[in-house]
Amino acid sequence: MHMGVSNAFPGGGVEPKVFKALLTMDPYVLVGDGTGDVRGIQQWMNERYVRRREFFIIPCGGQYSREVARALMLAIQYEIGMSDDQANGVFGPGTQQGLREHPLSVGSEGNWVLLFSAAMIFKQRSGVFFSSVFGSGLEAAVEAFQRFTRLSVNGRADFPTWASLLVSTGDPTRKGTACDCVTEITPDRARALRDEGYLYVGRYLTNVPGTTLDRNIKPGELETIADAGLSVYPIYQTYGGAASYFSEEQGVADALAAIDAYNHSVRAGIITGTPMDPASDADLWATWQQLNQDNVYCVSTVPHVHFHHAELIGAPRPSLDISEQGVLDLPTRYQGELDHPDAQEGGRRRLGLCRILEQYNAFMRNL
């Protein structure tokens, strides 16, 4: 009953899929921040699709998860008419074409409306009920979602709306207004981007150590971008990414550095707050989670690290009138000890970045 499969599997026997579900740690009662609406959808999907070969009993704890997202994709593929050999839970060409062939609007009824309202509920859209009838309330919620995702507002479950609900990329054919640029924005490139409808360009503040790709923003490039009527958003990335980086030791080191910097800024009165305990596993874990998941927190921690390092090496606090040697010492200490050759090389490389940032700030101050 809790799994929602009592009608699909009547009788007292234990079906293989039920037994498999019992061997997992998946919940089948409401847990944590789970909701009754989500749980009802989970039970409904189990009931309707559990006899399909690739559909296994999903959790019914009322929480949306990756497993539930895949189950929804499988359900859509089954309703499209895919066989068990075709349905794979992937948002591929066949699934996309099937969604294009099943638009919904006010007055639509049936399983497609149930699946669409389920997708809206999974995305925590307010005012949506799990229903087989597409009514005016669902239409209003769809319009709000379309405004939020910058889609054409029509209140219908068209393909772009389905795509934005199902995958993070949304409609892969949708034309955007922002782009991430790894090469210099020249005047010709800026004009070409603007002519194609782009309004925002992302440019990197530094190159990734150990790589040969020269992608950092160049002197004068901000003026070129502004002259073309474009806006820029800076991108800070110092590591290209590999699974080997994410070790327990690296996580502890990153968290300790962030905690030390934060505590120094609190003690110095730069920010308000309560100092954290670097010996506390809870504080270390919470800080590492923020560093790993919150880009704003991660970037905003860097100046506190510099403030802390300035105190450690007896340098003045970073300011607009700091000497160039003082500017050099801070990124050097950021890389390691001042007398370490690798740290010195890292500091010299980042001195150019500091100059670029000052040009950026001066430009923003209209100096």
**CB-CB contact of 294 with 251 (8 Å):** no
Average pLDDT over residues 300-305: 71
Strands (E), the chain: 178-180, 200-204, 231-235
Query: pLDDT category, 321, cuts 50, 70, 90?
Result: low
Average pLDDT over residues 264-272: 69
Average pLDDT over residues 337-344: 79
Average pLDDT over residues 247-273: 74
Q: Distance between CA 350 and CA 41 in Å, rounded? A: 53
Kindly report the pTM of this predicted structure: 0.61
* Backbone region of residue 4 per phi and psi (left: phi > 0; alpha: psi in -120 to 50; beta: other values): left
**The pLDDT value given to residue 240:** 45
Q: In what order do the strands lie in the sheet with 200-204?
A: 178-180, 200-204, 231-235
- Both tokens of residue 160? 């772009």
Environment class of 166 (CB within 10 Å of its CB; exposed 0-12, middle 13-18, buried 19+)? buried
Q: Distance between CA 148 and CA 126 in Å, rounded? A: 13
Residue ranges of domains in the chain, CATH in brackets: 16-166 (1.10.101.10), 178-235 (no CATH), 246-364 (no CATH)
Query: pLDDT category, 365, cuts 50, 70, 90?
Result: very low
Residue 299 or residue 94, greater confidence: 94
Least confident of 122-126, 224-228, 346-350: 346-350
CA 337 to chain centre: 34
Which H helix or E strand runs over 225?
helix 221-227
- Both tokens of residue 259? 């905690």
**The pLDDT value given to residue 167:** 94
Residue 366 or residue 117, greater confidence: 117
Query: pLDDT category, 316, cuts 50, 70, 90?
Result: low
Question: What is the pLDDT of the chain when averaged over all its residues?
Answer: 85
Query: Could you read off the pLDDT of 149-192 as tens digits, one per residue?
Result: 999 999 999 999 999 999 998 998 888 899 999 899 999 999 99
**CB-CB contact of 239 with 208 (8 Å):** yes
Q: Distance between CA 359 and CA 341 in Å, rounded? A: 28
